[in-house]
Amino acid sequence: MDREADVVVIGGGITGTAILAELARYDLHCVLVEKEPDIAAGTTKANSAVLHAGFDAPQGSMKARMNVAGNRLYHELQEQLDLDIQWTGSLVVATDAAEEAVLHELLARGQANGVPDLVIWDGKKVHEQEPNLSPQIRAALWAPTAGICWPFGLAIAFAENAVQNGAEILRECEVTGIRTEAGKVTAVETTAGLIRTRWVVNAAGVEADQVSQWAGDTSFSIQPRKGEYVLFDKTAQPDLVKGVIFPTPSRTSKGILVCATTHGNVFVGPNAQNIEDREDTAVTAAGMAEILNGARKLVPKIPLGAVITEFAGIRAVSSTGDFVLGFSKNVDGLVQAAGIQSPGLTSAPAIARYIAGLLVKASKAALRADYQAGRPAHPTLRTLTPAGQETLIAGDSRYGRVICRCETITEGEIVDAIHRPCGARTVDGVKRRTRAGMGRCQGGFCGPRIVQILARELKIPVSSVRKETRASYMYYDKDEMSGGNA
């Protein structure tokens, strides 16, 4: 069905959802289109979840500007949007004199970029902070403004806020072309129909160069770069690391890090491999060996027996070497938000303000009089006091029915995740909103029950429930699932 919009945002990752949320502050009809059944299904689902301080990117680059500003904005948005962020700080460690020299370079660059409170620690101070690090580490750059986050949760928060304020999110809506007339964007062609529009924001991740080419702008290309990770169970080793531990960086990567998560796990990774297939998220034995060997240089006692999963993500590396942001010089109405690799997660709210600022100026849009900050509350049983739990369960007995034992996630939380603005439509969509299936068993026990609940709440057959992508249907034994009528 054809429709109209002032702005169409292509791509439902952290960049696209942040831009949509910022545009929703204004009197503009905005539509985000995402080809998968859920948002945060690309790079946003598989990254290091680090909110960088901002000392890596060259001074004056878009990466540097957006990183520092984005970090500051997350400090402001954390309470307003109920974002899962911990400001742990980060360490970049050195094991010899040459690496120590790099630390001083990073310190100077960070100070030039406006990163506050950077300091170089000696080995003694480093090991007081992180006692499980290698004794070979002799110094580190400490960045107290860095942190860790729940990355899908950030994108979901932006999306919920945007929908709450009148924006639309169309999922399973793949872009197939961009229409232009006389060098100006007029419409976006999708599998769900034509969307006539004045402006298109290209936040399509690893497909951003293809989207740009459809509109007639060939000024950049995207190189897909795969990074693999290993995740450990919460019981692996208490306090293995408290925050973010980087090696000294290379020209192509920040290196294989060891990092805590906001939920008590630890992961190691990523490596960096340029690939051709933009959907190749397979992990390899060679990649796992590379990651573990790199991690052992930082933390010698890596608990291999506690590995619960491996995964990979793809970064969108621009041929320009920087973020591609702003109005296209070749196509009127095309706005680029492309090449968003690290520190893209950190930069997202700053990119959103930058892009929205351009569009508001061009459209002369006014602030919405009925704008609502924040997003709907989402009760979680495990975070409440015993009295709070009793009150929650008294109001809805489904919050007293634990579905995911590893993470203590209840049926009430899963149902809420499905029916929230831009709610879950897949098993992984439930996982990213609630953590159901994120624990030690990786969904082995709760998975079938989650499929039942999705089928029941979405009023679809069990055979129509998908794991994540458009074609990832989940088929279970009919007798076991009882037809999906839980």
52 is catalytic: yes
Which SS3 state, helix, strand or coil, does residue 231 take?
A: strand
pLDDT of 486 > 50? The answer is no
pLDDT of 474 > 50? The answer is yes
What superfamily would CATH give domain 1-82+145-221+319-375? Answer: FAD/NAD(P)-binding domain (3.50.50.60)
Joined tokens for residue 211: 């989207």
Q: How far apart are CA 292 and CA 290, in angstroms?
A: 6
What are the residue ranges of helices labelled H in 396-446?
411-419, 427-434
Which SS3 state, helix, strand or coil, does residue 274 take?
A: strand
Q: How far apart are CA 322 and CA 442, in angstroms?
A: 36
Window from 48-57, 240-249, 465-474 with minimum mean pLDDT: 465-474
Whether 8 contacts 276, CB under 8 Å: no
Domain extents in the chain: 1-82+145-221+319-375, 381-484
What radius of gyration do the chain's Cα atoms show?
Answer: 22
pLDDT in tens, 76-90: 999 999 999 999 999
- Of all residues in the chain, the percent with pLDDT exceeding 70 is 96
Whether 410 contacts 449, CB under 8 Å: no
Q: How far apart are CA 448 and CA 477, in angstroms?
A: 10
Whether 203 contacts 13, CB under 8 Å: yes
Choose the catalytic residue: 52, 104, 127, 419: 52
pLDDT in tens, 124-181: 999 999 999 999 999 999 999 999 999 999 999 999 999 999 999 999 999 999 999 9
pLDDT in tens, 411-456: 999 999 999 999 999 999 999 999 999 988 999 999 999 999 999 9
pLDDT of 475 > 80? The answer is no
φ, ψ for residue 456, nearest 5 deg: -65, -50
pLDDT in tens, 254-309: 889 999 999 999 999 999 999 999 999 999 999 999 999 999 999 999 999 999 99
pLDDT of 253 > 80? The answer is no
Give burial (CB, 10 Å; 0-12/13-18/19+) of 442.
middle
